[in-house]
Structure 1
Amino acid sequence: MGLADWISIFMAAIAVATAIVTYAVFRSATDPVVIVYAQPDLQRQSIVNLFIENTGRGAAHSITFRTSRPLPEQAFGIEPPGQMPGVMKSGVVVNGVPFLAPGQRISLTWGQYGGLSKYIGQEPITVETFCYRGRRKGLFAKKLQASSTLDVAMFGASESSEHGFGPNLVKELKALNKTLSSIERALERF
């Protein structure tokens, strides 16, 4: 084998490596990424919602979840309740999701800070998410995995109550009170 043959083999190896890297970059840019997270509801004071969201650019099929321990259900109470909240026995986290489009998310009313913090305690819950990037299980339907952590301790001092209906109602009542006071003064003059 001469120098030209070695150069040809080297160039072929570079071409194959480039194709593999290009495919890996393409797949990572178009794969689904399904995450699970908790967030305060800004419209309903003291409520914490659980979101399941596909943050990737590809459609997610046959999504299943595995948690480090069961999730609470109906964990309500601003103050920690006397009884431990129940365990989630049905719903999308337990039963899975057949399909999530890119950017699509599912919202669940999960509970309130007191009930959730009583159940979760100091040890956050880890959620492993598994999904397929294609409908069919075959050459291109790779099983993908993501991991999320659920912890509500960070909401203990949050200002989610500042965004609900309460503060807006107070502002409107103050404006109404001011208007009524000006009407009352005008009536007194007559």
Structure 2
Amino acid sequence: MELANWISILMALIAVATAVVTYAVFRSATDPTVIVYAQPDLQRQSIINLIVENIGRGAAHGVYFQPSRPLPTNAFSINIPKDMPDQMQSGPIACGIPFLAPGQRLSITWGQYGGLYKYLGDEAIRIDTFCYRAHSKSLFSKKLKASSTLDIRMFETSESAEHGYGPNLVKELKAINLTLKSIDRQLQKRLQAPLV
């Protein structure tokens, strides 16, 4: 074989490899990626929410979850309770999600530290999330997978900072109090002033 033929074969292989890499980069930039994580609720002190979020750039279709063990639900107790919280039997994690748009997130009220720790203990839960691209209806549609880890111990020493309505209400009440004191001082001055 001549050198020109070898160069042609090499160039064809480079072109195929470039096309495969380009396609892989394109797919990774447009595929959905659905993750699950816990996050403190900034509006309700001491509440921890379970968040399901599509952090990918594509819409997810037929989303379902496979946790390494069942998740708790309504685990409300700041201190570790005597009774074990119930297992999650309903909601997006238990029943799946038909469609999740890019950037869309669902927030599930999960519980408080004590109740969640009673159920989860020192063992983290791994959640495998499976979905399909939104417009892949063919027989050869690729199932996409992402994994998340839930470990309640990360909230053990974190304080529930006051955010939301409570602190804003306190600030507003303090401002009203200052205004009322100023009005009271003005009235006192007028009452004490001699009548002309």
Q: Please report the TM-score for the alignment, with normalisation by the length of structure 1.
A: 0.91
Q: Give the match for residue 126 of structure 1.
A: 126
Q: Give the match for residue 56 of structure 2.
A: 56
Q: In the TM superposition, what is the alpha-carbon distance from 1:31 to its structure 2 partner? A: 0.9
Q: Within 5 A, what are the aligned runs for 1:42-121?
A: 42-121=42-121
CA RMSD of aligned residues (A): 1.7
Q: Which has the larger radius of gyration?
A: 2
Structure 2: gaps of 5 or more residues: 192-196
2:161 counterpart SS class: helix
Q: Give the match for residue 12 of structure 1.
A: 12
Q: Within 5 A, what are the aligned runs for 1:34-49?
A: 34-49=34-49
**How has the CA–CA distance of structure 1 residues 111 and 137 changed in structure 2, closer, same or farther, with 3 Å as cutoff?**
farther
Q: Give the match for residue 171 of structure 1.
A: 171
1:8 counterpart SS class: helix
2:93 counterpart SS class: helix
Q: In the TM superposition, what is the alpha-carbon distance from 1:18 to its structure 2 partner? A: 1.0
Describe the superposition over 1:84-134 as per-residue Cα deviations: whole angstroms up to 9, x where unpaired. 110001111011111111111111111122211221111111111011124
Describe the superposition over 1:10-50 as per-residue Cα deviations: whole angstroms up to 9, x where unpaired. 11111111111111111111111000011111111111111
Q: Within 5 A, what are the aligned runs for 1:155-170?
A: 155-170=155-170
Q: In the TM superposition, what is the alpha-carbon distance from 1:180 to its structure 2 partner? A: 3.1
CA distance in 1, matches of 2:59, 2:16: 28
**How has the CA–CA distance of structure 1 residues 64 and 137 changed in structure 2, closer, same or farther, with 3 Å as cutoff?**
farther
Structure 1: gaps of 5 or more residues: none
Q: In the TM superposition, what is the alpha-carbon distance from 1:177 to its structure 2 partner? A: 2.8
1:38 counterpart SS class: strand
2:162 counterpart SS class: helix
CA distance in 1, matches of 2:114, 2:179: 39
Letter in 2 for 1:47: I
Count how many residue pairs are aligned between Structure 1 and Structure 2. 189
Q: Give the match for residue 139 of structure 2.
A: 138
Q: In the TM superposition, what is the alpha-carbon distance from 1:187 to its structure 2 partner? A: 4.0
Q: Please report the TM-score for the alignment, with normalisation by the length of structure 2.
A: 0.88
1:115 counterpart SS class: helix
